[in-house]
Structure 1
Amino acid sequence: MKPRTAPAELPAPTHTFTRLLRSTPRGARLARLLAARQLAVWGWPDGHEVAETAVSLVAELAANAVTHGRVPGRDFQLRLTVGPGLLRPDTLRIEVADAHGGRRPDPAAPVPVPGPDAESGRGLVLVDALASRWGVVDRLYCGKTVWAEIDLAHGAAPPRNRAPGRNR
Structure 2
Amino acid sequence: MTEEEPRMSARETIEGLESALSKGRRMRAVTALLAGSVGTAFVGALWLGEPGPLPGRTRLAFAVFTVCCVAWAGYGGWLVTRRVPLFAVDRVIAAWIGLAAAVATTAVLVVAAVQRGGGAGAALAVGGVFVAVALALAVRAHARRAALLRRVRELTGEGGG
TM-score (norm 2): 0.31
Larger radius of gyration: 2
Structure in which a larger fraction of residues adopt strand: 1
Structure in which a larger fraction of residues adopt helix: 2
TM-score (norm 1): 0.30
